[in-house]
Structure 1
Amino acid sequence: MKKQFIAVFILAASLGLPALSQTPVYLDETKPLEERVKDALSRMTLEEKVKMCHAQSKFSSPGVPRLGIPEIWMSDGPHGVREEIQWNSWNVASWTNDSCTAFPALTCLAATWNPDMSALYGKAIGEEARYREKDVLLGPGVNIYRTPLNGRNFEYMGEDPYLASVMVVPYIQGVQKNGVAACVKHYALNNQELWRGHINVELSDRALQEIYLPAFKAAVMQGHVWSIMGSYNKVRGQHACHNELLLQRILKKDWKFDGVVITDWGGAHDTREAALNGLDIEMGSYTNGLTSESAFTYDDYYLAKPYLKMLKEGSVPMSTIDDKASRILKLIFRTAMNSQKPWGSFTSEEHYSVARKVAEEGIVLLQNKALSKKEKALLPLDATKYNKILVVGENATRRLTEGGGSSVLKVKQEISTLDGLRAKLGDKIVYTQGYESGRAMYDHVDVVPPSVTDSLRAEAIKQAADADLVIYVGGLNKNHLQDCEAGDRLSYELPFGQNDLIKGLLHVNRKMVMVLLSGNAVEMPWVKDVPSIIQGWYLGSETGNAIANILTGEVNPSGKLPFSFPVKLADNGAHAFGEISYPGDSINQEYKEDILVGYRWHDTKKIPALFPFGHGLSYTTFAYDKATLSSKQMPAEGSLAISLKVKNNGTLGGKEVVQLYVGDEKCSVVRPLKELKKFAKVALNPGEEKLITFTLTPDDLKFYDEASVNGK
């Protein structure tokens, strides 16, 4: 290392540049971080500072080679580390050593309602990112689930700001223990993919503060996240990636964020706004990078030559570049130049175990009814009762890690639902496809001829007629206009003719277990006729093993829904006010449901959900004792304790999520009927009882009073 320092010192002297001292402070990791940053900044030229503020390839930004300060390498992947792509192209690099572990989608993680699972997840994916020598992992996502049509909901943590806040913090901490920066996204209000690059969101300050920002705030103030990604959309007329309100006033001033703001790829639109309004690193603007490919190169980015020119002319303050460069240096010292970070690991048995555990705890048993009073519910499966179990559905064999946009993964191992069931139940399992959706496409739909659809449906119905049990594995997938980036769903119903297929199957065989794999709620016109329904999400590498363990009862389901399933789309708050509320008029959009998002809308407006937020059944039964309060009133200072006993009254061990909601019967503003404020996941053996105590503080009961804040 010393030889490298001497070489750099000689090079600097020969070029007439600012030289290193004999003992550079910025290289001494025993020195305070701020002192190291200040020292490095003092040695940099203006050109070097500006260069750090924009991309040099698809997924990297420059360091300062003269000073031995390395570049920053980023990777997509809230659910796994994306395969390598070419320097200046979106084409894959075709490496042979970049096949990752696929972890369950973040909807599944949220459905565990278990912060311990989030910590395991963050640690494992952080180890994979570290092994691949990534400095920034572009995730997790915490945008609020506002409409079930949003193509990117599967990457987020549901409709409730408190649940998302609790779950995001351990993920961040787990990732960053590896010397890899989490990059929480998409800040903020990126709640649809349609027109995402320009749609202007208008909403109340109260909705912003109570619903859409709390998870980001928790990521910053509790998780101490090192980077944040801006979103594509506009907020109150200004693009989110250089939005004065979001970045300068709230993120950096109010929350004291000391990390780096990174654009979503192509999210910058104006040099002056980017300079003044808190953007630090610009990625992906308009170009593949090389002049031979485009007349617009990396040096032409908004925060490149145009920014340098403004700085030299004095049209933007020099303090802006010092702030940006300081933040970027801090990120580099925390990641690329952190000699104390662990080595990481990749596609290990430990990581597969984490993926399976998260999947098992996130799977939600929506419904489990007996066909008659004389029969038991179909789940858990008693394999001895069946000779032929027919598995129907493309999702039983489809690789659901493919497609979806930037979350696409190249996986080393992905156990399909069919393979998992065959490993557990052997030759009892027979498979027929039932429907077809076409190839996983990012920007257009692969049309399947009606003759293929009709033929597959007819064959499935024929085989179901003499099966002892049907396991239907369907839902959505990662195709364009499904659960996929850059487009929203066009319909709330199941695609690819699945409703007709399900009705046909039920007509010949009522013994059906349905496994829905999706990141979004779907319409269920057949719900009363299907005895057992499981919501399975996108479960990653261990999909088949996790589903088989749940269906057979080896693992008792304990997941709870992180968002509501409306009966019909019009029952969702975002869709109750016409197109201006969703999807907007192509230019502007108004969040007219205000704070009444998800269950807050269903409860307050007395519009029952088909399956409500927080719903999830078990193979055992739990009994709740009456809750007791430490005081009849909340003290002005201090806290209120709420205690209750929970007992497993069944014959199987299981986990229950105890959920505490609060309501305000008399208030100066509209408040939801109830709001989640605390929860706890508890494991109980048969007959076991445990005491659960929640602590509420005055902060848990507060609301955002716009009249008071605005001085009215």
Structure 2
Amino acid sequence: MFKNVKTVVVLLLWGAIGVNAQNKVPLYLDDKKTISDRVEDALSRMTLEEKIAMIHAQSKFSSPGVPRLGIPENWMTDGPHGIRTEVLWDEWKQAGWTNDSCIAFPALTALAATWNKELSSLYGKSIGEEARFRNKNVLLGPGVNIYRTPLNGRNFEYMGEDPFLASKMVVPYIKGVQSNGVAACVKHFALNNQETNRNAVNVIVEDRALYEIYLPAFKAAVQEGDAWAIMGSYNKYKGQHCCHNEFLLNDILRGEWGFKGVVISDWGGVHDTKQAIYNGLDLEFGSWTNGLTWGTSNAYDSYYLAAPYAKMIKSGEAGTKELDDKVRRVLRLSFLTNMDKNRPFGSFGTQEHAQAGLKIAEEGIVLLQNKNNILPINLSKTKKIAVIGENAIKMMTVGGGSSSLKARYEITPLEGLKKRIGNQAQIVYARGYVGDPTSEYNGVVAKVSLEEKRSAAELSAEALKVAKDADIVLFIGGLNKSEYQDDEGFDRKELGLPYHQDQLISELVKVNKNVVFVNISGNAVAMPWVKEVPGIVQGWFLGTEAGNALAAVLVGDANPSGKLVFTFPVTLADNGAHALGEFPGGDEVNYKEGIFVGYRYADKQKAKPLFSFGHGLSYTTFEYGKVTADKKQMSAGDQITFSVKVKNTGAREGSEVVQLYISDLKSSLPRPIKELKGFEKISLKAGEEKTVTFTVDKTALSFFDDKKHDWVAEPGDFEAIIGASSTDLKSKVSFSLQ
């Protein structure tokens, strides 16, 4: 009757799942049909047990599909900067694979510091290809929580203090990732601005600040980036945990913004079955890691959205409407990702990805100070270079929490400098201080042992001796990814540099005035010696090609064009969260500074920052013309265009970030002095001039009126201000809204 075994198998499968009479293919497997139709067809074939299984984890990083119907599992991966190594099914311990070493991309602070939307797209495309090749269909990133204070240990994973900048940089990243059939899971929604007591702290914030500062990047991710997934945060808001928060998830995310994607819990972020059912959560991960049923078998079946949910349905305590909605969204995720037969295959650990990371790193590095043109290093006149500091030899792709990576390789700053300079100058290294001597993290062994038997005094003496007769001293220090620095789960305790670096830098300047400080960090630091050190570079965490990128900028192969994405305050008192609000608080933290975050607070207080938001120097110079407007008045449904000429007046090609700020001269509610509402990065050859234009509508003039619960653009007078930073303002033009 049957000619072969294959025919029998196909008929048995069709008999189990039902057949579309017209196409001879089950509707949910027919990719010519709409995703909505396919979802409904698949849902109609599922049992209660299969539906419950789909909405919670089955391992550390996966959730079940429906094997009977051929619907695959969902596999998640950390993180926003590279594809995490494989771990064991039930443990965080590495699985011991030999083919899971990824390309480590620069941290997202460095990406944001490029102010380059095209590079954000390249970043997303590249990391999406790596995730796709490893058969992950959800990338747990990017992060867009706002930089409220320089003490937040997780700031390095985010995109800075300004909601407009974060909004514009996150959208191309998402589209780049999702072009590979991999969902971007934007995190952490919302108000996750500290690591201290992060699983329990309740955030108190006024609606204006919520909507104007902390939500815009998430809104852009949903409405402009079409993100397929969102991750809830650990903290509470309005007394409810954010992974099942009625106001954030039901009212805002789905109600106001129309989000159609999947809401995924942070690992261990679920605390209540009833709230998880009704308050917008779709996929639960990691509850076992928080000790819910620690050490028991089938722990995943005890998750809040597992057996307890099924029991409520069977007893009649809960219906199935919410369950079906959750499963619909998870099925949609599958059809967009691992059930899309046309998605590309991806690639992993490639030189192409490494070069993408190198380009992003070079453009993200920020030249903060360059007195006497100490940089770039003139190799024709330099015989001896002293390199000092632990961060010159320390791997920064490991540590820091969930973003820790097993990179295919990492070029340290010292390696990069030696490779680039070669025999053109002598390079002498001295450690100078001991920070974290750990030489192994999560299964990754450092290429250079950091164990140290010498005393602090001996290390300091060696550094001073090496520096004394050098032509230039490169102090490569800053923070690292250890506890209480740039590290998930821990906030910093102070603004100053750790490990007595400030004292060592002050001593170095006494023996050699030609010191360049390279700050490896994702956070601002205090610099009490700033007037004595001629060269200062913000070096970030730059990933696989870190050393090559830094060397290229320091010797002038690459012209620095990065700009700061957060304000460097002189002291914590110059930061609104510390001056007016609370940090880190206790069981509650009150954002009393409201909308006055970062440069908004500095402007309000007329406090001069150490380095301003948007600041960054170049090895060339730029001259700005006067900004003009195409009209003096605009109506509510109108647009207005501002134009400014920018000329490269130096001797070499360079890139400049032209920034547009809008100032509301009179408002019924308090407003910042000015707010970023446009930016454009342009490349100019020596002597070249370009005209930069910005077109805005009333949204750029609006504020959130919490009494009306709506955005309002009040008629009146405004100014458009062009700047090279938030304090280096070039010209302005007045206009009005009728």
Class of the TM-score when normalised by the shorter of the 2 chains: over 0.9
Change (3 A) 1:449 1:199: farther
Contact 2:125 2:179 in 1 (8 A): yes
Which residue does 2:545 correspond to in 1?
542
CA distance in 2, matches of 1:681, 1:543: 23
CA distance in 2, matches of 1:366, 1:314: 64
CA distance in 1, matches of 2:18, 2:106: 49
Contact 2:14 2:26 in 1 (8 A): no
Which residue does 1:411 correspond to in 2?
407
CA distance in 2, matches of 1:45, 1:565: 56
Q: Which of the numbers 375, 379, 383 marks the counterpart of 2:375?
A: 379
1:135-176 C-alpha deviation (Å, 9 max, x unpaired):
101000000000100000000000000000000000000000
Residues 325-344 of structure 1 correspond to what in structure 2 (within 5 A)? 325-344=327-346
Which residue does 1:373 correspond to in 2?
none
Q: Which of the numbers 517, 521, 525 marks the counterpart of 2:524?
A: 521
Contact 1:264 1:283 in 2 (8 A): yes
CA distance in 2, matches of 1:617, 1:710: 39
Residues 271-310 of structure 1 correspond to what in structure 2 (within 5 A)? 271-287=273-289, 293-294=295-296, 297-310=299-312
Which residue does 1:71 correspond to in 2?
73
Deviation at 1:574, TM superposition (A): 0.4
Which residue does 1:696 correspond to in 2?
696
Change (3 A) 1:194 1:450: farther
Q: Which of the numbers 236, 239, 251 marks the counterpart of 1:237?
A: 239
Residues 91-170 of structure 1 correspond to what in structure 2 (within 5 A)? 91-170=93-172
Change (3 A) 1:114 1:525: same
Which residue does 1:661 correspond to in 2?
661
Pairing 1:461–2:464 present: yes
**Partner-residue secondary structure (3-state), 1:385:** coil
- The normalised TM-score by structure 2 is 0.92
Amino acid at match of 2:436: G
Contact 1:186 1:230 in 2 (8 A): yes
Deviation at 1:6, TM superposition (A): 6.2
Which residue does 1:501 correspond to in 2?
504
Pairing 1:574–2:577 present: yes
**Partner-residue secondary structure (3-state), 1:704:** strand
Amino acid at match of 1:204: E
Which residue does 1:431 correspond to in 2?
429
Contact 2:293 2:302 in 1 (8 A): no
Deviation at 1:439, TM superposition (A): 4.1
Change (3 A) 1:322 1:385: same
Change (3 A) 1:43 1:612: same
Deviation at 1:293, TM superposition (A): 2.7
Change (3 A) 1:453 1:123: same
Amino acid at match of 1:164: A
Change (3 A) 1:291 1:232: closer
Contact 2:267 2:289 in 1 (8 A): no
1:314-372 C-alpha deviation (Å, 9 max, x unpaired):
322311001000000000111111110111111212111100100011000000001xx
Unmatched tracts of structure 2, length 5 or more: 443-449, 712-738
Which residue does 2:393 correspond to in 1?
397
Change (3 A) 1:710 1:155: closer
**Partner-residue secondary structure (3-state), 1:381:** coil
Amino acid at match of 2:323: I
Q: Which of the numbers 169, 183, 187 marks the counterpart of 2:189?
A: 187
**Partner-residue secondary structure (3-state), 1:454:** helix
- The percentage of counterpart residues that share the same residue type is 59
Deviation at 1:451, TM superposition (A): 6.2
Contact 2:478 2:497 in 1 (8 A): yes
CA distance in 2, matches of 1:217, 1:391: 44
CA distance in 1, matches of 2:528, 2:635: 49
Deviation at 1:313, TM superposition (A): 2.4
Change (3 A) 1:541 1:688: same
Deviation at 1:636, TM superposition (A): 2.1
1:196-247 C-alpha deviation (Å, 9 max, x unpaired):
0000001011101000000000000000000010000000100000000000
Pairing 1:684–2:684 present: yes
CA distance in 2, matches of 1:389, 1:292: 54
Which residue does 1:564 correspond to in 2?
567
CA distance in 2, matches of 1:142, 1:685: 34
CA distance in 2, matches of 1:4, 1:661: 66
Contact 1:269 1:302 in 2 (8 A): yes
**Partner-residue secondary structure (3-state), 1:286:** helix
Change (3 A) 1:612 1:539: same
- Count of residues in correspondence between the two structures: 697
Which residue does 2:730 correspond to in 1?
none
Change (3 A) 1:241 1:553: same
Contact 2:123 2:356 in 1 (8 A): yes
CA distance in 2, matches of 1:572, 1:26: 54
Amino acid at match of 1:431: Y
Residues 52-91 of structure 1 correspond to what in structure 2 (within 5 A)? 52-91=54-93
Deviation at 1:467, TM superposition (A): 1.3
CA distance in 1, matches of 2:495, 2:238: 29
Residues 589-628 of structure 1 correspond to what in structure 2 (within 5 A)? 589-628=589-628
Unmatched tracts of structure 1, length 5 or more: 371-376
Which residue does 1:470 correspond to in 2?
473
Amino acid at match of 1:514: F
Amino acid at match of 1:57: S
Contact 1:61 1:71 in 2 (8 A): yes
Amino acid at match of 1:661: Y
Which residue does 1:270 correspond to in 2?
272
CA-atom RMSD in angstroms: 2.2
CA distance in 2, matches of 1:28, 1:496: 61
- The normalised TM-score by structure 1 is 0.95
CA distance in 2, matches of 1:602, 1:564: 9
Contact 1:442 1:485 in 2 (8 A): no
CA distance in 1, matches of 2:53, 2:108: 34
Amino acid at match of 1:503: S
Amino acid at match of 1:365: L
Amino acid at match of 1:490: K
1:25-80 C-alpha deviation (Å, 9 max, x unpaired):
11011111100001000000111111101000000000000100000001001000
Deviation at 1:507, TM superposition (A): 1.1
Q: Which of the numbers 160, 175, 178 marks the counterpart of 1:176?
A: 178
Which residue does 1:374 correspond to in 2?
none
**Partner-residue secondary structure (3-state), 2:203:** strand
Which residue does 1:420 correspond to in 2?
416
Amino acid at match of 2:184: A
